[in-house]
Structure 1
Amino acid sequence: MALQHGIPADLLPIHWKSQITGWFAEDTPSFDYGGFIVGNSERTATLFGKSKGVLAGEVIDPGSTGMLAVATVTGPVRKLLLGERVALNTLSRCSGITTKSRAMEELARKAGYTGIIAGTRKTTPGFRLVEKYGMIVGGVDGNRHGLSNMIMLKDNHIWARGSISEAVRAAKAAGGFALKVEVEVDSEKDADEAIAAGADIIMLENFPGDGLKIAANSLKQRWAGKKSFLLECSGGLTSDNVGTYINNDIDIISTSSIHQGVPHVDFSLKIDH
């Protein structure tokens, strides 16, 4: 998924700066002793990339030197050092996710996949905005950002409501025309019930081996020209199995491997001297 208009930062909500204020409050809960020592004279600092990765959509590679200047920032030295660790931690984590997302997208396309690669909601509490931003900059779909973005009916919702059909009807009534409804199923029978009830997306969960490909193809053929829906599968996709995992009867492959446990991209900030 490529961003066609504007710049990625235009996606950020207006409250993103307040989140950063909260991170600063965590890092400096009381007095800033180091800041007191260095004072408020204006200085310039250089941001160096120290490992290969993707930063803001551009590939950086320090090569054999181990250090590549990628940006400069000028301001009161106290504030530069006050924000240094929060900024580097955020940038390293976000760039790691962007790097892994870009790599997964490229592998999937090389393997012939034409559908959507997406992240998941298995993100770090309080840090989701950064992690989803990293996915999008890396070229994959951020998937839903929270419970309010799409109505996802999992097994617990269905058991609590009584049936797939009842759960879908209730979801449609609550969400209206503006929200899509997705239903998680573990059999073709349940998928058929969800499609007949009007679900927009069917999540094929825990289908073994080639069973996923067989079920996806069967559903697409059986409902062709009758109902419009997308098929999604989740879990299992890694950089090592892309070639054997994907199939184009699946419209969306969502994976946590692009944002959970990914290596950080290493950065450092040095005051010019």
Structure 2
Amino acid sequence: MSQPSTYGDLSHLLPTNWKKTVSSWLDEDTPSFDYGGFVVGETDQVAILYGKAPGVLAGVPFFDEVFRQVDCRVEWFLKEGEFFSPGENGRKEVAKVHGHARNLLLGERPALNMLARASGIATRARRLRELKDKHNWKGVIAGTRKTTPGFRIVEKYAMLVGGVDTHRVDLSSMIMLKDNHVWATGSITNAVRAARSTGGFALKIEVECRTEAEADEAIEAGADIIMLDNFDGNGLISTAKKLKDRYAGKRMFLIEGSGGLTEENVSSYFGEGVDVLSFGSLSQSVPHIDFSLKVQPRQK
């Protein structure tokens, strides 16, 4: 797996409230007394963060913030977005954490849980990005809003570290009209009209379509993005081409494919006319990357 492109410091993207999210993890894990911390006390210690499975490192700002809030300091040996392998001994030194023994253990589990999931998402994202590049497909690989409640900011951040698009981050980012919206309003046309009346010119409107006829209606209604849902690869490419040809010079829109996409079959969806492929699996059913944090034995 190749090394990442240079994306810069992605922590600058994070909203002003992200540190409160980190605080909530610590609050959840220690709601009253820290009994284990009483045992180990306040001695100065060093703990080593080991990566125990191959993957892409993601979640560095969140890991740093966990330990900052418990008065510890992190020293990294790898950069965020870097791929690592545990090697022959089964573990790779990724970082050192310096602080009081009690504080190291306060931050340990919230930090590791976050890092394991974020790195798992970034690893899958990197593989998908490399498949796209290998096949010279010019479209966009994206995640979806199928994220973990309370953890979305980390999961979307990890997609960016892995080199893919976040799609819409929340309900306020873009107007996506799915089957339930259409059924509730009576037609695709009615749903798009209502969406445009409130979203105005600033928000794009995407419509989920199950057939070419539904796509035609969405395009005629003024949708910006047509999601062809649960098409196979040949069907998606064929329908995308027909729609683009039919409305050439008349309407501007993007074609998105979604539903049933996997790492194994994605290459069959890479085709001219397909602009976006979105994956719920970027944030669902993702294998975590195994990390451990080991306090070093005290010298006698």
Same fold (TM over 0.5): yes
- Asked if structure 2 preserves the Cα contact closer than 8 Å seen for 1:100 and 1:259, the reply is no
- Asked if structure 1 preserves the Cα contact closer than 8 Å seen for 2:142 and 2:276, the reply is yes
The equivalent position to 2:132 in structure 1, one of 96, 108, 114, is: 108
d(CA) in 2 for partners of 1:151, 1:205: 16
Structure-1-length-normalised TM-score: 0.94
- Larger mean CA deviation between 237-246 and 227-236 belongs to 237-246
Unaligned runs of 5+ in 2: 58-79
CA drift at 1:130: 1.2
The equivalent position to 1:165 in structure 2, one of 173, 189, 195, is: 189
The equivalent position to 1:139 in structure 2, one of 163, 166, 176, is: 163
Structure 2 equivalent of residue 225 of structure 1: 249
Any residues of structure 2 matched to 1:145-184 within 5 Å, and which? 145-184=169-208
Structure 2 equivalent of residue 86 of structure 1: 110
What is the DSSP-based 3-state SS (H/G/I as helix, E as strand, rest coil) of the residue aligned with 2:280? coil
The equivalent position to 2:211 in structure 1, one of 184, 187, 192, is: 187
- Count of equivalent residues: 272
Any residues of structure 2 matched to 1:61-72 within 5 Å, and which? 61-72=85-96
- Asked if structure 2 preserves the Cα contact closer than 8 Å seen for 1:232 and 1:252, the reply is yes
CA drift at 1:5: 5.6
Q: Over aligned residues, Cα RMSD in angstroms?
A: 1.6
CA drift at 1:208: 4.7
CA drift at 1:209: 5.4
Say whether 1:211 aligns with 2:235. yes
Structure-2-length-normalised TM-score: 0.86
d(CA) in 1 for partners of 2:281, 2:7: 27
Structure 2 equivalent of residue 7 of structure 1: 9
d(CA) in 1 for partners of 2:218, 2:171: 20
CA drift at 1:256: 1.8
Deviations 1:162-203 (A, max 9, x none): 221221111111112221110111122221221122111011
Structure 2 equivalent of residue 30 of structure 1: 32
d(CA) in 2 for partners of 1:5, 1:92: 21
Say whether 1:49 aligns with 2:73. no
d(CA) in 1 for partners of 2:249, 2:92: 55
What is the DSSP-based 3-state SS (H/G/I as helix, E as strand, rest coil) of the residue aligned with 1:159? helix
**How high is the sequence identity, in percent, across the aligned residues?**
58
Unaligned runs of 5+ in 1: none
Amino acid at match of 1:69: E
d(CA) in 2 for partners of 1:79, 1:12: 25
Any residues of structure 2 matched to 1:251-266 within 5 Å, and which? 251-266=275-290
